[in-house]
Structure 1
């Protein structure tokens, strides 16, 4: 059996038919809260029995089960993004990704954003966002500046001499 490349992304749009036996006993409450739904889950590893999933700060474990794999678009929950203005319909702003949802009829992921403590009412597709990267890393200076030449000023403000 060939294991998937981690991380990979997908969702459980329907509850698997085998009941609850595929859920790790300690993760039952978390899984019931998140599944079934169009939420895009991140699968991070396989420990030999359970796959480990993440949805933002929530983590849980499931035995192998059928899920709908979706293409990752380069964004994850808690990423800082800047929206791209679309004509007069949408303003530009900086926000944090709060949720990821696979919309089957559109065939893409739509993202719920949070500005400060408030959720943005509209969902955004990947082509209307840009990932913000940390600008704090500064490289070494490569520009060589000339040494300044100072002139002594006389009593009238002109150069001496």
Structure 2
């Protein structure tokens, strides 16, 4: 059952805006396409309906912005299905946690995130080399890829200080 529509709350000192949520549009609404911003109708026709998981965020002009990787579609409030929040984003480089029978690390870039009814979770599709994978992966099978010797953005480490030279202060 869809969540009731959230109202935007404002205060004079601190304007508050609802946080982003994640939705799917698995059916085309019956009321035509007036709910889509006129400049975005062509792109929406190729992406909706589908099992893609969109990030939805309310904009100041009253439209919701649906983001799917680099693509953004502006829509008026319309019935959407809630979707679980993805762990990874389109464009991120990931590696497979278990690459069987291989000494090398299997890595790829996420090009699609789609909802799996069977797993009730997002599934990630990768580009490896020049090939788009047809195999979907769950978040448990992936981790962010970082080249050796570099920290991931989200890693935290203690500040390292240079040890004092031997025999001196």
TM-score, length basis structure 2: 0.74
Structure 2 CA distance for partners of 1:77 and 1:144, relative to 1, 3 Å: same
Of the three residues 36, 44, 47, the one matched with 1:23 is 36
117-126 or 4-13: bigger deviation: 4-13
CA distance in structure 2 between the partners assigned to 1:92 and 1:130 by the alignment = 12
Q: Which runs of 5+ in 2 are unaligned?
A: 1-5, 9-16
Asked if structure 1 preserves the Cα contact closer than 8 Å seen for 2:97 and 2:142, the reply is: yes
Partner-residue secondary structure (3-state), 1:9? strand
Of the three residues 117, 125, 144, the one matched with 2:130 is 117
Residue 2 (structure 1) aligns with? 7
CA distance in structure 1 between the partners assigned to 2:105 and 2:79 by the alignment = 38
TM-score, length basis structure 1: 0.77
Residue 69 (structure 1) aligns with? 82
Residue 135 (structure 1) aligns with? 151
Q: Which runs of 5+ in 1 are unaligned?
A: 149-161
CA distance in structure 2 between the partners assigned to 1:136 and 1:72 by the alignment = 21
Aligned residues: 148
Q: CA RMSD in A?
A: 2.8
1:36 aligns with 2:55: no
CA apart distance, 1:99: 0.2
CA distance in structure 1 between the partners assigned to 2:18 and 2:89 by the alignment = 17
CA apart distance, 1:79: 1.2
CA distance in structure 2 between the partners assigned to 1:70 and 1:136 by the alignment = 27
CA distance in structure 2 between the partners assigned to 1:17 and 1:51 by the alignment = 19
125-134 or 135-144: bigger deviation: 135-144
Residue 52 (structure 1) aligns with? 65
Bigger Rg over Cα = 1
